Amino acid sequence: MAFFTKTVFKKFAGFVCIGFSAVYASSALTPFVNPVNFWPMTFLSLAFPLLLAGMTGVCLLSLLLFKKYCWLFVLVLALGYTNIRSIWGFHPNKFFSMEKPAGSIRILSWNVNEFLNAAIENDTPGNPRRQMLAFIQQSNADILCFQDFATDSGRHFRSTLPFIRDSLHYPYTAFVNNFSFGIEGYGIQHNGIIIFSRLPIIDSAIISLPNSEHFKEDFQWVTVQYGQQKLKIINAHLRSMNLHGNQALPVESQFYKPDTILFLQKSTFSKLRYFDKVHVAQTNTIQSVMDTTELPFVFCGDLNAVPSSYVYHQLSNGLQDAFLKTGWGLGGTYDSISPTLRIDVMLMRKPIIPIQHQTFPLHLSDHYPSICDVWMKE
């Protein structure tokens, strides 16, 4: 009886290992298969870190139960090499210093979630918005790239843009105002993306992203002067997935009208499928700008896509990922759902070299800020 039970268990374990290996092998294709053509790639890319952990367990189990075939499972594990290298940083001995290396340029990138609440009545000592501004000041960055930025006008609000420009000493700014709305009796809020710089901005451009008929969203680039050298900074925010769109305030919902059914009625599953297709189209637009850029550049952005996704691999192709070059672990940047979500990136093209990079787990915005120090080779 014991022998029979052992045999049945071994066969069952074998079927489970083979089935799981097939799913894992499929997830290894996410960098190469466009989710527009095959939508399951969207979900396999999100699940890849968990599938990787499971596949590692399968390899260990096969070592105990199927030693003769263990190498086959290890071979399947190796199929995920491209994704493994994109989700995990392999530099455990590199430590970030808040003291900026001499001759370097420091860049801070952050989805600031509209700086939370700029109402004067909420502007108390130690409130989250003040903590965010204090961190920006302490960062001593030369360039700030903010996504999901908002600045308010009206006597009931603190206006964030002029405060950072004047009080934190970033005299050069490039603001992309994607939309504005007024709250009767209070003021107007302007939303978009922005670049602040202590280095002179000598050129700039705004480029529309696809899907603007549903929600106006542009990305931007600026050229800054650093001594005798010129550097391009690209800042982008790919379409938010609005997984909590059904919780939008009435004043915000006006910007969702073309997508009302999707936002308010569709499931999270449907939203993920829909927005991954939007992200592919937006990535193609950004990539076309990168491909025609002659200057060295740094791309800062909230991709709303994970490093095992088709979107990430298309955008990062041929570029250096600051986190992967200097970081350790998963490097999650989203303060919710899962620590595996590294959806904010800093990418650069040689001769720009990342010296150090750090993501700071501040529970203020729904994203974490990232700082990178770079050198420009002559």
Which DSSP state fits 148?
E
Prior bond of 125 cis (ω within 30°): no
Residues in the chain: 378
Which one-letter DSSP state was computed for residue 200?
P
Which two tokens mark 61?
A: 């189990």
pLDDT tens digits for range 317-334: 999 999 999 999 999 999
The whole-angstrom separation of Cα 186 and Cα 188 is 7
Tell me the one-letter amino acid at 341: L
Q: For residue range 335-344, what is the model confidence (pLDDT) as tens digits? A: 987 888 999 9
The whole-chain average pLDDT of the chain stands at: 90
Between these two residues, 143 and 123, which has the higher pLDDT value? 143
pLDDT digits (tens, 9 = 90+) for 268-311: 788 888 889 999 999 999 999 999 999 999 999 999 999 999 99
DSSP state of 164: I
What is the pLDDT averaged over residues 1-22? 81
SS3 state of residue 98: coil
Query: Which residues on adjacent β-strands are paired with residue 151?
Result: 190
Contact between residue 234 and residue 265 where contact means Cβ atoms under 8 Å apart: no
Question: With 80 as the cut, is the pLDDT of residue 253 above it?
Answer: no
Q: How far apart are CA 319 and CA 33, in angstroms?
A: 20
Which pLDDT does position 339 carry in this prediction?
Answer: 82
Residue 8's pLDDT band (cuts 50, 70, 90): confident
pLDDT band, residue 243 (cuts 50/70/90): low
Phi, psi of 83 (to 5 degrees): -70, -40
In terms of C-beta density within 10 A (0-12 exposed, 13-18 middle, 19 or more buried), how is residue 107 classed?
buried
Name the amino acid, one letter, at 73. F
Phi first, then psi, for residue 41 (nearest 5°) are -60, -30
Provide the pLDDT for residue 258. Answer: 53
Q: How far apart are CA 303 and CA 45, in angstroms?
A: 14
d(CA 22, CA 327): 31
E strand spans, the chain: 89-90, 105-111, 143-153, 172-183, 187-197, 201-208, 218-226, 229-237, 297-302, 320-321, 328-329, 344-348, 352-359, 370-376
Q: Is the pLDDT of residue 191 over 90?
A: yes
Predicted pLDDT at 4: 55
Phi and psi torsions of 193, nearest 5°: -125, 160
Q: Is the pLDDT of residue 36 over 90?
A: yes
pLDDT of residue 329: 95
Instruction: State residue 3's pLDDT score.
Output: 55
> In this predicted structure, what is the pLDDT of residue 27?
97
Amino acid (1-letter code) at residue 280: V
How many CA atoms, within 13 angstroms, populate the side-chain half-sphere of residue 153? Answer: 7
Residue 154's pLDDT is 80
With beta carbons less than 8 A apart as the criterion, state whether 355 and 326 touch. yes
Q: Place 164 in a pLDDT band, splitting at 50, 70 and 90.
A: very high
pLDDT reported for residue 203: 97
- Banded model confidence at residue 160, pLDDT cuts 50, 70, 90: very high
